[in-house]
Amino acid sequence: MMERYPRFTLHLNHIAENAAKVAGLCAARGVTVEAVVKGVCADPRVAGAMLDGGCASLADSRVQNLAFLKKEFPTVPRTLLRIPMKSELEDAVRYASRSLVSVPESVAALDDECRAQGAEHAVLLMFDLGDRREGVVTDAEMGAFVAALKKASHVTLVGVGVNFGCFAGVLPSPSALRRLCLYRQAMEEALGYSVPLCSGGSTSTLALLESGELPAGVNHLRVGEAILLGRDVSRQRLVPWLRQDTAWLEAEVAEVRIKPSIPEGESGADAFGNLRVFADEGPRRRAIVAIGRQDVPAEALEPQTPGIKVLGASSDHTILDVTDSAEPLAWGSRVRFSVNYAAMLALMTSPYVCKDNTD
């Protein structure tokens, strides 16, 4: 059979190992872990590896992925991570067991939809504690949610949640998470029923767990990046107790040639509107690999062969300087790259990239 490239390979056992380590560390502190699978486009083998490793539930930001996960894992709870659009409530109720909410109108609308479908739905109320993405900003807003939830007959509040490190890059702090714990308690008292979950964030919150600073009331985390890649982009770190050899990209060389390192002729913008300046390093050996910005951002690729540098990319071509490559490259050679979260997300979504996995 023809080997197709570019090829993105996920190492399932290594991902399961990471899941077991994260779930184990969390369990020791009374925290359950939800496996976030949007980074791998809800690939069922990866989701399975994360569940095998000890994650309690699955989460994705897209209802299409949740529909797919419902078929693959009918008994595993599924969380919709993106606050739902009005136009997708029907699918949210149908395919998710619970959703994150941040506007009171969505509670009433979810309740109506549940009644129409004869279904029940759980929600986590999101608080913006600094990152300035979704969520309630002031305590004064909580009253509207209490009213909406008291009126609802098919929607229950199961928890409160927060995001860090997503829009503004704000890191989680013990004081912000203590506030979240108080909000959980306040909602429970106002509603008169148990609100069990205090969902204190994602991969970026693991550092507080490691240092023993996670407030005791936080009992739930939604984790993707740390399990899938052993990385924490918000702190620009490789998580030392996790594996990073969980995924790699192979792209095929379509041209190798010595070329001047500076362009010739009057310069305008590149294919993506950027004006670029090049240093004159004399003639250099360069390789073109057949993958481009349509599939992956070039900045997110890390060549595994020492001496190879990524120079840039257009839609379909990524240009490498291979003059100092530790391995010889020719037309038809393959180059391996480690990837970050942004690269994995894009690669798993591109129909032009062959997805592969190994045990």
Ligand X SMILES: *Cc1c(COP(=O)(O)O)cnc(C)c1O
Task: Select the residue interacting with ligand X from 19, 223, 287, 319 (CB under 6 A).
Answer: 223
Q: Is 46 in the site for ligand X (CB under 6 A)?
A: no
**Which residue, 245, 228, 233, 226, is CA-closest to 45?**
228
State the Cα angle at 103 between 98 and 108, rounded to 5°. 70
In the complex, which residue's CB is closest to ligand X? 224
Residue 246 lies near ligand X (rule: CB under 6 A): no
65 near ligand X (CB under 6 A): no
Among 202, 246, 318, 350, binds ligand X (CB under 6 A): 202
Pick between residue 38 and residue 78 the one whose CB is nearest to ligand X.
38
Q: Which residues pair with 321 in a beta bridge?
A: 286, 309
CA–CA gap between residue 53 and residue 22 (Å, rounded): 9
Least separation in angstroms between residue 82's CB and ligand X is 6
**By CB under 6 A, is residue 200 in contact with ligand X?**
no
Q: Are 59 and 36 in contact (CB under 8 A)?
A: yes
Measured from the CB atom, the residue of 234 and 318 that comes closer to ligand X is 234
Distance, in Å, from the CA atom of 32 to the CA atom of 220, rounded to the nearest integer, reads 5
Least distance (Å) between residue 269 CB and ligand X:
32
Per CB under 6 A, 81 contacts ligand X: yes
Catalytic-labelled residue, pool 21, 38, 150, 259: 38
Based on the shown chain and the rule CB under 6 A, indicate whether residue 177 belongs to the binding site for ligand X.
no
Angle at Cα 26 formed by Cα 23 and Cα 32, nearest 5°?
75
C-alpha to C-alpha distances, 243 to 10, 16, 196, 359, nearest whole angstrom? 12, 10, 32, 14
Residue among 36 and 136 whose Cβ is closer to ligand X = 36
Q: Is 38 a catalytic residue?
A: yes
229 binds ligand X (CB under 6 A): no
Q: What are phi and psi of 64, to 5 degrees?
A: -60, -40
Instruction: Write the CA distances from 196 to 11, 94, 185, 217, 241, integer angstroms.
Output: 34, 23, 9, 10, 29
163 binds ligand X (CB under 6 A): yes
Catalytic sites, residue numbers: 38
Which residues here bind ligand X, judged by CB under 6 A?
A: 36, 38, 61, 81, 163, 202-203, 222-226
